[in-house]
Amino acid sequence: MKAYLLKLFSLTSLLIIVSCGGDDDYTPTETETIDTESPTPPTNLTATNKTEASLQLNWDAATDNVGVVNYAVFQNGNLINNNVTTTSLPIQDLTPETEYSFSVIALDAEENESESSDILDTCTLAETLEYKSNLSDMGVFTENLSAMTPAEGAEGVQLYEINSTLFTDYAKKQRLVRLPNCETMQYKGDDLLPEFPDNTLIAKTFYYNKNDQNPNEGKIIIETRILLKINGNWQVGNYIWNEAQTEATYTENGSVTPISYINNDGETLNIDYEIPSKQDCFTCHNNENSTFPIGMKLRSMNFTPSYTNQNQLAYLESIGIMEGVTSENISTLPDWTDDATYDILERGRAYIDINCAHCHQPGGAVTNFNLDFRFETPFDDTGIYANRGEIEARVQSTAPVYRMPQLGRTIVHEEAVTMLLEYLEAIEN
């Protein structure tokens, strides 16, 4: 073989060997590099269309250098769907009034995962409240109703107090409120009623101690009045306790219950206690044909109550059922019994506000006297001075069509009358 052919053959063989050996060590060119870049996290995760058992998650799309292929959704930290190809997902089979947490990650074709979205904490809606036949089914008290112990746990019934109270023939009152889980009372910019969420329950139970000198002798529990906020509107209802104090039943009818108890002075008082009808409740809890609570004004709760050692508004905010309120920015309705802190003019106006203003104000049930007894109304616009004689006579009367207030009392509030007569004399000067 000629020398150049031998050299050519040797070179060709070498090229073949080198070429074949290169197949095992192939390195892609720059344009063929494997994608290792992760997508950006999904953003703006929200929940819409919430019901008692479902909701819809929505989020803004993630971005990727090549393209996002799908999303994985987590509920309470557990993967529930890893093949979501849109930016929304309906969630079903949830429990009413329950808190859930959700998060989302994005994936590309190489299964590169994004960081997690922000975690969304949200709640399903509460089941719509309704009046049951028996108080025991309303979730207000624990199983032993007569102990009047507020229900705890999921029910979350909270005691509250007001600092200047309505007179009801010396009956004592326990006041309770229950909000749906994850919902709060919201500050509306004034010191009156906060904004209550739908499915709020407000309960007030009226009772006497058998013996005020020894409360351990037991109670005479008469009625539990309940306000429900349903679809933006307040409804009123009443439950009358049986003689055994084991249950209370719903009624819309008024009635009279004879009561006998021993007061703090050791006197036996006999009272024909009047239970209001549903129409009576509307009379007081109505303004411009809309029903509303009376007692839970922020200014009436802006003090330190007996059940905690801090300001009540601050306490309610600390336990998560009040939001946006600063007690320092809310006025306080004077306690009409506190003559050490408030003067007679303040005390008189406070008593008239809490006992009379729900009817005697614009839009209230009484319109023929042109009165406005609300505490915030300037004195010259109240009509108190012009009607001071009527006020003096009516607060001392027990005649059903003449006494003031006409509803809620059958006897004279002696201590208040003493204070009011002093007040009416003071405004003469």
For the chain, domain boundaries: 43-123, 127-332, 334-429
Q: 33 or 212: whose pLDDT is higher?
A: 212
Mean pLDDT of 279-293: 92
Write down the mean pLDDT value for the chain: 91
* pLDDT bracket for residue 29 (50, 70, 90): low
> Options 2.60.40.10, 1.10.10.10, 2.40.10.10, 3.90.1150.10; which CATH number does 43-123 get?
2.60.40.10
pLDDT in tens, 354-396: 999 999 999 999 888 889 999 999 999 999 999 999 999 999 9
- Determine the Cα–Cα distance for residues 202 and 237; give it in Å rounded to an integer: 11
pLDDT given for residue 14 in this prediction: 37
- pLDDT of residue 166 exceeding 70, the answer is yes
CB 278 within 8 A of CB 238: yes
pLDDT given for residue 230 in this prediction: 96
pLDDT given for residue 353 in this prediction: 97
Over the range 193-220, which residues count as b (16 or more CB within 10 Å of their CB) and which as e?
bbebbbbbbbbbbbbbbebbeeeeeebb
- Determine the Cα–Cα distance for residues 258 and 160; give it in Å rounded to an integer: 28
- Determine the Cα–Cα distance for residues 425 and 420; give it in Å rounded to an integer: 8
Terminal CA-CA length for the chain: 142
- Strand, helix or coil for residue 327: helix
Paired residues of 229 in beta bridges: 234
- 102-106, 160-164, 282-286, 382-386: range with lowest mean pLDDT: 282-286
In 141-232, DSSP assigns E strands to 157-160, 172-178, 185-186, 201-209, 219-230
- pLDDT of residue 25 exceeding 60, the answer is no
DSSP 404: S
Crossing angle of helices 344-356/414-426, nearest 10°? Answer: 120
Q: How many CB atoms neighbour CB 404 within 10 A?
A: 18
* pLDDT bracket for residue 11 (50, 70, 90): very low
- Determine the Cα–Cα distance for residues 175 and 185; give it in Å rounded to an integer: 16
Mean pLDDT of 271-284: 93
